[in-house]
Structure 1
Amino acid sequence: MSSESADTPRVQIIQIPAEFAGQRVDNFLFTRLKGVPKSRVYRMLRSGEVRINGGRVRAESRLQDGDMLRVPPVRVAERAEVALPTALLQQRLDDRIVFEDDAMLVLNKPSGMPVHGGSGVSFGVIEALRHLRPEARFLELVHRLDRDTSGLLLVAKKRSALRVLHELFRDDRVEKRYLALLAGAWGQKKLLVDAPLEKNVAQGGERMVRVSRQGKPAQTYFHRQELFADATLVEAKPVTGRTHQIRVHAAHLGHPIIGDERYGQEETNKAFRRRGLKRLFLHAAKLVIAHPVSGVELRLHAPLEPELDAFLQQLRR
């Protein structure tokens, strides 16, 4: 008789249904293996434990209808106690929905809230929305915003809509515009920063991105909006969608975003905190995208957060 218990993890062979065709392998595994650390999932992919149709696969590979996916034995951590968003927070998120229909939802995300739980955070925007919309059978993030960035965030309400929206983002057919306050007086009015970006890990284990010839192509348009004595308000329009792209490109200009604790200037951030700016001054203000079902162009707008607007008024005075 086998000594294995009934709940001993075993190899899974999953035949991919048509509705998941086009999804990245790592994102599919995150959904399938809830509770398993992302680092473990990526380790499984790098070591070849995950296979498609018998062959090794990369994290960014896309699933195809009918693929046979091998998932190695892995124990999914039980989450006995999961903190739930408060009614006040749920109401706050509900009030910040700027567009919603049967296919998608667009939220004006508050600063300080991650888009999803993990890394010591019990829940993020997507978990809170699922709790807010218990009747919704499907809610998935289309893209991400950094925890301290506020502004427009897309959530798909159908698998078919997610597939179309991912394709639009992948093909750079989404126009995004951010408002950012840069440190120092930037002397130029317009500039295209064309600097490839490479992900790496700092000595402390913190994920960092840097400009590098070995990196992936990355382009950001910067357009000056207002010039102050020691700061510059700009509109940033990313052409590509790399991690931390606007923040790293701003620092590359020599004018990092004020409040950026990872790529910014510590003394500058401290000085502006004393003047009342307590957060990263980066806001996803505008979004132009084709509706995933109708194809009609949507032009969405999220006004500048009250605390950021108040700080600009202070600078103007």
Structure 2
Amino acid sequence: MTTSPFSASAPAVVRVRIDEADAGQRIDNYLLRVCKGVPKSHVYRILRSGEVRVNGGRIAPTYRLALGDELRIPPMRIAQKASSAPVPAGAALPVIFEDDALVVIDKPPGKAVHGGSGISHGVIEQLRAQRPEARMLELAHRLDRETSGLLIVAKKRSALKVLHDMQRAGEIEKHYFTLVAGAWRNRLQHIRLPLFKYLAADGERRVRVSDEGKSAHSIVRLLRRVGEFSLLEVELKTGRTHQIRVHLSHLGYPLAGDDKYGDFALNKRLTATGLKRMFLHAARLRFVHPLSGETLDLESPLPPDLSQFLSSLEGGRA
């Protein structure tokens, strides 16, 4: 994670040598990231005017930085913000796999992957607070706040770019466990329904099945039926927002505990009987390591809160 080389009190020309952590990033995105407090319009103005130089020459805002590039950034005064409380490091996040290119953590439920929308900090901010020496830590993908399980964080820009390319190509296998209301019929079922993102009347982001939307493909496997519920494994072939939740609820099988697309009367009953959040867990990732070429097959067991609730259902107590 590159720290800003700029000062609010004594602006001056800054020269930066691009290392492996920043190689491959667009120059405009790099400047927006490191020049915290500088207006976006000003960053693009100095790029268009040629005040930013790479290896002594002018470059376009879309130029991708290369390893060893020498970057000249003109003086910029950064607006000072009111001091804010530092992100608490908190308990160490469980690590499933780590090397010099990436780290895969087992995200706890109830924690957003990043700050924003009224959330002061999330998993990525906590990870950075726990590892202040890290040159770079960036999310390779996302999980909903209530969803627990496997989350990839890149430690190198080169790894992040490859991971993003792999996701767009559908080359990262993602498997989830979920519990839905109703008796799911098929042992194996492909769901291909396009998903459309929109803003609800209250300004909240929502998704619905619509021909206006983007293609989305989920593969559902029935693991077992539990009373009036079904335990499913869902493999995502695309990574659309709220894909599992919307696909299954559209077919009449809402996720237990889903407060956006679920059965609200049922959720109220489930809360009283022990389910405190949405029953969705990112259980398995299988992909080729972006730099080494090694095949990684990583798993996270069902966490205690979901496992215990499932046991209570199977015992007939819920």
TM-score, normalised by the number of residues in structure 1: 0.79
Tell me the residue number matched to 1:184.
182
Per-residue Cα deviation, 1:66-99 (whole angstroms, up to 9, x for no partner): 9xxxxxx99867251134225xx333x1xx1111
Alignment root-mean-square deviation, CA: 3.5
Shift of 1:308: 0.5
Structure 2 Cα separation of the partners of residues 34 and 178 of structure 1: 37
Structure 1 Cα separation of the partners of residues 198 and 26 of structure 2: 21
Q: What is the 5 A alignment of 1:1-317?
A: 31-32=33-34, 64-65=64-65, 78-86=81-89, 89-91=90-92, 93=93, 96-317=94-315
Structure 2 Cα separation of the partners of residues 305 and 138 of structure 1: 29
Which protein has the bigger helix share?
1
Tell me the residue number matched to 1:11.
none
Shift of 1:171: 1.1
For residue 88 of structure 2, what is the amino acid of its counterpart? Answer: P
Per-residue Cα deviation, 1:89-148 (whole angstroms, up to 9, x for no partner): 333x1xx11111111100000010001111121111111111111111111111110111
Shift of 1:53: 7.3
CA 103–79 in structure 1, closer or farther in 2 if over 3 Å, else same: farther
Structure 2 Cα separation of the partners of residues 74 and 248 of structure 1: 46
Bigger Cα Rg:
2
Contact 1:23–1:62 (Cα < 8 Å) also in 2: no
Describe the SS at the equivalent of 1:90: coil
Shift of 1:228: 1.7
Identity of aligned residues (%): 48
Structure 2 Cα separation of the partners of residues 77 and 265 of structure 1: 47
For residue 232 of structure 2, what is the amino acid of its counterpart? Answer: V
Contact 1:90–1:128 (Cα < 8 Å) also in 2: no
CA 74–262 in structure 1, closer or farther in 2 if over 3 Å, else same: farther
Q: Which runs of 5+ in 2 are unaligned?
A: 1-6, 9-17, 50-60, 67-75
For residue 257 of structure 1, what is the amino acid of its counterpart? Answer: L
Describe the SS at the equivalent of 1:249: helix
CA 210–100 in structure 1, closer or farther in 2 if over 3 Å, else same: same
Shift of 1:29: 7.7
Shift of 1:189: 2.0
Describe the SS at the equivalent of 2:308: helix
Structure 1 Cα separation of the partners of residues 263 and 306 of structure 2: 19
Structure 2 Cα separation of the partners of residues 283 and 31 of structure 1: 31
Per-residue Cα deviation, 1:232-291 (whole angstroms, up to 9, x for no partner): 100000100111111111111110111110111110111111111011100000000111
TM-score, normalised by the number of residues in structure 2: 0.78
Structure 1 Cα separation of the partners of residues 161 and 24 of structure 2: 7
Structure 2 Cα separation of the partners of residues 200 and 65 of structure 1: 35
CA 225–27 in structure 1, closer or farther in 2 if over 3 Å, else same: farther
Shift of 1:149: 0.4
Contact 1:33–1:76 (Cα < 8 Å) also in 2: no
CA 83–216 in structure 1, closer or farther in 2 if over 3 Å, else same: same
Describe the SS at the equivalent of 2:269: helix
Contact 1:190–1:223 (Cα < 8 Å) also in 2: yes
Tell me the residue number matched to 2:69.
none
Q: Which runs of 5+ in 1 are unaligned?
A: 1-5, 8-16, 55-60, 67-72
Could you tell which deviates more after superposition, 230-239 or 115-124?
Answer: 115-124
CA 232–138 in structure 1, closer or farther in 2 if over 3 Å, else same: same
